[in-house]
Amino acid sequence: MKRNEIIIVALMALLNFTHILDFMIMMPLGNILMPKWSLTTSEFAVIVSSYSLSAFVSSFCAIFFADKFDRKKLLLFAYSGFLLGTFACAFAFGTYSMIVARIVTGIFGGLISAQILSIIADVIPYERRGRAMGMLMGGFALASVIGVPFGLYLANTYDWHYPFLVVAIFGVLLLPFLFKFVPNVNSHLENPIKLKERISNFYDIFSNKAQVTALIFSFSLITGHFIIVPLINPYLVYNVGVPQEYTPLIYLVGGICSLISAQIIGKLADSFGKRIVFVWAALISIVFVVLITNMPHWQLFVVLGIFGFWFSSSTGRTVPGQAMITQAVTSQTRGSFMSLNSCVQSLGTGFASLLSGWITYSDSKFAIHNYNYLGYISVVLILLCVMISYRLERKLQQVEI
């Protein structure tokens, strides 16, 4: 990758770090907030899903105006609102105030992912996009390696408010660098598309087999992953018996493995084919999904090892999977399609969070029951993604990059 491409992707990865961390840190706080606010699993799932479902709404609306603006300006606007919402989460005083704060954060956060992917896709040629996606996924890994462990340390040592404050402050410090180094991305404005045509293009997405397949693939991919994520921390603490003070190690080890594997898998995807790498990673990840959701009282080092492999294999699915999705559309309508893709992913995340709360329940000691059922659903969705990936690759061969 060229020097300017590396700088842009690195800044997008740092932005992605704060964006993902804000979403990720909410779920590990379950074992603190559930007893503090006397929440059931379904009530906690509503708090988690409120961000995703509001992001779904804003992502859907963005489909009709995303390609009307410079991608950089829209990204900075959305990111500023997102940081304000994160500040509000730090001062929530109960269930309803937290839900409102998460909704505000989600409305702006829902605009961010599509713009990041669109900027990467517009700036980075397809032959180097696998590496770019690997670096971008580094933001997710950094959130796991540094963000979540540090956030949980602050929550365990001081109070649960502190992680949100740290995320918001870091984001404010990042804004000047985004202004300076990210170029205006507006080549799509040379031939602007009118609203009537945008609506027509929206309907055309559903008549384009490659794009429909990519969206189904995206929804299945994100739902299959996140259905087991929201209740991982309460499950480890109250079922597996992992001491609460050691839970940051889970995300530290997993994040390190994800950070390393993201770079390796990005290169492998560019060299050997994105579908082949995706399929192998998906099949390997099934083993660890089953182990995690059926975990007895194991030693901490065994738990850490399993989560390390799970993080790596999950990254192995996401990196080539996202690269395949970006190829399903041309540059002219990429913003609208990526907004729809972000919309679909937010819907999948919110649906997965709600489903995890509906299927499971907690007892008087906050132990989680029926968690293994979530693992079986995840396995089915992963296998479905493997089958869809074959069809998606055939459709992508017909798309002009």
The pLDDT tens digits for 71-85 are 888 999 999 999 999
For residue 95, what are its two tokens?
């269930």
Q: What distance in Å separates the CA atoms of residue 357 and residue 352, rounded to the nearest whole number?
A: 9
pLDDT value of residue 141: 65
Q: pTM score > 0.95 for this model?
A: no
Residue ranges of the chain with pLDDT lower than 70?
1, 137-141, 144, 188-193, 195, 330-336, 398-401
Place of tokens 């979403």: 23
pLDDT value of residue 401: 47
pLDDT value of residue 149: 84
Burial 300-333 (b: 16+ CB within 10 A, else e): eeebbbbbbbbbbbbbbbbbbbbbbbbbbbeeeb
Contacts of 135 (CB under 8 A, 6+ apart): 6, 9, 10, 13, 262, 263, 266
Contact call for residues 259 and 308 (beta carbons, < 8 A): no
